[in-house]
Structure 1
Amino acid sequence: MNLSHLASRLDNIVPFHVMELAKMAAALEQQGRHIIHMGIGEPDFTAPPLVIEAATRAMSDGKMQYTSATGLPALRAAISAHYHRTYGLDIAPARIVVTAGASAALLLACAALVEKGAEVLMPDPSYPCNRHFVAAFDGRAKMIASGPAERFQLSDDMVRQHWGADTRGVLLASPSNPTGTSILASELRKIIDTVRSKDGFTIVDEIYQGLSYDAEPFSALSLGDDIIVINSFSKYFNMTGWRLGWLVLPEQLVPQVEKLAQNLFICASSIAQHAALACFAEDSLALYESRKAEFKQRRDYLVPELIALGFKVPVIPDGAFYVYADCSALSDDADRLVKEILNQVGVSMVSGLDFGPHTAKQYIRLSYATSMENLQEAVRRLALFLGKA
């Protein structure tokens, strides 16, 4: 094939450095090194027993055919009930579209809303794939530098200041990857009101919303029926490899997204959908809450230890399982630092390089989605690397 025939949009999509670091760590493990993985954002917990049993039962019962492109009616109803139980919200099952992971949900939302040349505002730092979903439909992500004062999120003032003639909407994440910080409900309300006044769209990625530690449960869906929310079974529900997520859409957008889903995906995995019904069983929910408490314990251990080692944590993460730490007192190049740490003491972390240029050199992201024993050993190794053992 003549590579000159490749689509020009590929020029706007760069490799995912997190995965490159993961390959480096895997290569060291193949050499016999013991590596503590704090790079990839994946829970160390796996699906609960009832979910595994439901998947096995679905396979043995032959429930492996295509489902509706919008998902199993029973699963859409179960997600609706979850919103009522957790947030006190009445979300009609008809507004819920089950997807092949949150990535497919974002892809479908961007396919429906982003045209060539359309601009979408998002914070720098933010999850890199979000800007690439926009680029995949020939739109443009406008990355707005955001720091500790804004909790690494967009503010209403920033949205007003940066909204331009080509701006069509905002893409937010609360809690965020890489920072683990949420947008305050009062600020999110102002952002949504501003976007609404400009006839734009608001997409809110809530895949870590179930892992919020310091506030009452809150969803952007409480702020209006015109909000588009992304969620997933990967993080809180510990089903990363099952590739299952969902969208909550304004009612009038559902037929359009269904049409796209029919053509792009046909449906999400039927086995994963049948299994996910068991996520909402009482025993499963109790297990998820105990695991959430364990994540909080890990955060409460790791943050003070990092500060004691010389890292700065200007905003304490209130959700997800990440710490976004300022390493400028230790190095002038975060990417070089994480590679040195990996090679010398076997702790895998990632720099801010993936998440946008504003924090690329100064910050590292650490995932505490690993055992407390691993975190304690990682702190010991970091102290050794920094000469503070």
Structure 2
Amino acid sequence: MPRLASRVDRISPFYVMELVKQAARMEAAGQDIVHMSIGEPDFTAAPEVVEAMELAVRQGRSQYTPAVGITPLREAIAAFYRTRFGVDIDPARVIVTAGASGALSLACAALVEHGAKVLMPDPAYPCNRHFVTAAGGQPIPIPSGPEDRFQLSAEHVRKHWDDQTAGVLIASPSNPTGTAIAPDALVELVDEVRKRNGFAIVDEIYLGLQYDGERKSAASLGDDLIIVNSFSKYFHMTGWRLGWLIVPPTLVGAFEKLAQNLVICASSLAQHAALACFTPTSLDVFEARREAFRERRDYLLPEFERLGLHVPVKPDGAFYIYSDVSEHSPDSGAFAARLLAEAGVCAVPGMDFGTADPGRYMRFSYATDLARLQEAVDRMSRLLGR
């Protein structure tokens, strides 16, 4: 058999998928499961977007596009930053990608030398480590606890940066914690990276789903940052596999060359349909759904405290609650298995998100209907005697 590259051994399994497979087997056997595991909105594409896709199919708009995306979509994304976030972005800096995953893969291919270190918080979205590894770099997860809002900080950069470090990869708001980096803390962090001539990749796929404070893009801090975003979360188009990068003007050519060779282009049909995301009617839909997510969060937070599933940092975005379950178990993996087996509630243990105290924490997703979340709380109440 062919010998696999050694990097494959450095990429760990996505444990949540094993839990989800177990939940699926239970459902197939007739058991009702409340899913609080996968980070996928229960909402789907807005009606105007679906209509735009149907029209694009009928018009045969399925041929290759430029590697950086169709011009109208790049212009629409830039206009969205101006009207929603108050940032003027040259559309030439926008590169349309095959989802945020495609954007992060492209960014790591462009910026991470073999053996280079990239700092990131622990806990973090597990694939962020693996994008760096796949590019030949070394992900360096830095333990980031409640006192850091579970985020990388300027002090972490000062303490952990060395001659092999190339940059940082952060997300705000974050998966799994739903926490955002405070604006002043982000400025300080970026300044520390700049002092060291490093890069900063900022994943903002949950920025549209921020509930507390002003929704402010890191793009406002200067044109030297690499901004990642997606149509998956705020626009509820996960399977459409469409996202974007905003890159420094001097790097556009390099990113375009890599995109031409590695992906050709993002889905042409999805690109044409995504133009309808920015109509007033569609934006009203997305904002109404954002309020629905906020309602779910605000229902769950006090209920979790009552259940002894303590939330050390209030999530201000995304659709996750990162809960301290140590009152009930020293092992979040065992506790997740118990919730699934005895209460029919599927949630994710901390082992997927890093090595900093993973047995203490679990991620609960509230990307499901409020009535189902209420059912999950009722079941956990009975199980935990609350």
TM range (shorter): over 0.9
Query: Can you give the 5+ residue segments of structure 2 that lack an aligned partner in the other structure?
Result: none
Question: Quick check: 1:179–1:323 contact (8 Å CA) kept in 2?
Answer: yes
Please give the alpha-carbon distance, in whole angstroms, between the structure 2 residues aligned to 1:32 and 1:255: 54
What is the CA–CA distance in structure 2 between the aligned matches of 1:191 and 1:36, rounded to whole Å? 39
User: Could you tell me which residue of structure 1 aligns to residue 29 of structure 2?
Assistant: 31
Shift of 1:76: 0.2
Match of 1:302 in 2: 300
Shift of 1:387: 2.0
For residues 273-352 of structure 1, the aligned pairs below 5 Å read 273-352=271-350
- Equivalent in the alignment of 1:95: 93
What is aligned with 1:84?
Answer: 82
Counterpart Cα distance in 1 of 2:137 and 2:225 = 20
Equivalent residues in 2 for 1:364-375, closer than 5 Å: 364-375=362-373
Q: Which residue of 2 aligns with 1:8?
A: 6
Return the letter of the residue paired with 1:379.
V
Q: 1:359 Cα shift?
A: 2.9
Please report the TM-score for the alignment, with normalisation by the length of structure 1. Answer: 0.98
1:240 to 233, 238, 241: 238
Q: Which amino acid aligns with 1:214?
A: D
Specify the alignment match of 2:174 in structure 1.
Answer: 176
Q: What is the match of residue 128 of structure 1?
A: 126
1:20 match: secondary structure: helix
**Is the 1:118–1:168 Cα contact (8 Å) retained in structure 2?**
yes
Alignment match, 2:54: 56
| Helix, strand or coil at the partner of 2:170 | strand
Among candidates 116, 119, 123, match of residue 118 of structure 1? 116
Greater shift in the superposed pair: 105-114 or 378-387: 378-387
Once the two structures are TM-superposed, the CA of residue 146 in structure 1 deviates from its matched residue by 0.6
> Shift of residue 137 of structure 1?
1.4
* Structure 1 residue 340 displacement after superposition: 1.1
The aligned residue for residue 353 of structure 2 is: 355
> Map of 1:254-273 to 2, 5 A cutoff?
254-273=252-271
SS at match of 1:65: coil
Give the drift of 1:165.
1.2
Identity over the aligned pairs, expressed in percent? 59
Superposed CA offset, 1:166-191 (max 9, x none): 00000000000000000011011011
Mapping of residues 131-142 of structure 1, within 5 Å: 131-142=129-140
Alpha-carbon distance in structure 2 between the residues aligned to 1:273 and 1:342: 39
d(CA) in 1 for partners of 2:55, 2:155: 52
Q: Distance in 1 between matches of 2:277 and 2:337?
A: 38
What code does the residue aligned with 1:18 have?
Answer: V
Letter in 2 for 1:76: R
SS at match of 1:98: strand
Q: In structure 2, the residue corresponding to 1:170 is in which secondary structure? A: strand
User: Any idea what SS the aligned residue of 1:358 has?
Assistant: coil
Instruction: Tell me which residue corresponds to 2:203.
Output: 205
SS at match of 2:356: helix
Opposite residue 138 of structure 1, the aligned amino acid is: G
Deviations for 1:246-301, whole angstroms, at most 9, x for unmatched residues?
00000111111111111111000011101100000100000100000010000000
After TM superposition, give the deviation of residue 322 of structure 1 in Å. Answer: 0.2
Any gaps of 5 or more consecutive residues in structure 1?
none
Q: Post-superposition shift, 1:11?
A: 1.3
Tell me the secondary structure at the aligned position of residue 299 of structure 1.
helix
Q: What is the alpha-carbon distance in structure 2 between the residues aligned to residue 89 and residue 354 of structure 1?
A: 35
- Distance in 2, Cα, partners of 1:336 & 1:211: 31
Length-normalised TM-score, structure 2? 0.99
Q: Work out the CA distance in 2 between the residues paired with 1:241 and 1:190.
A: 36
Q: Distance in 1 between matches of 2:25 and 2:210?
A: 34
Shift of 1:22: 1.1
> Paired residue for 2:106?
108
Residues 124 and 359 in structure 1, CA contact (< 8 A), matched pair in contact too: no
Which residue of the partner structure matches residue 227 of structure 1? 225
Count of residue correspondences: 386
> Residue 84 of structure 2: SS of its match in structure 1?
helix
Give deviations 1:104-138, integer Å, cap 9, x for gaps: 00000000001111000000000000000000011
After TM superposition, what 4+ stretches of structure 1 lie above 4 angstroms from structure 2? none
Separation in structure 1 between the aligned mates of residue 49 and residue 83 of structure 2, nearest angstrom: 20
Q: In 2, Cα distance between the equivalents of 1:148 and 1:34? A: 34
Give the C-alpha shift of residue 344 in structure 1.
1.2
Residue 188 (1) aligns with residue 186 (2): yes
In structure 2, how many angstroms separate the alpha carbons of the residues matched to 1:186 and 1:310? 32
Q: Distance in 2 between matches of 1:187 and 1:208?
A: 18
Q: CA deviation at 1:312?
A: 1.0
Structure 2 counterpart of 1:344, one-letter code: E
Residues of 2 paired with 1:284 and 1:247: CA distance? Answer: 22
In 1, the alpha carbon distance for the partners of 2:248 and 2:152 equals 23
Instruction: After superposition, give the CA deviation of every residue in 1:349-371 in whole Å (9 maximum; x if it has no partner).
Output: 00110100113100000000001
Aligned equivalents of 2:68, 2:6: Cα separation in 1: 32
Q: CA offset at residue 224 of structure 1? A: 0.8
1:43 to 32, 41, 44: 41
Query: Matches of 2:225 and 2:136 in 1, distance apart?
Result: 23
> 2 CA distance for matches of 1:215 and 1:36?
31
Q: What corresponds to 1:68 in structure 2?
A: 66
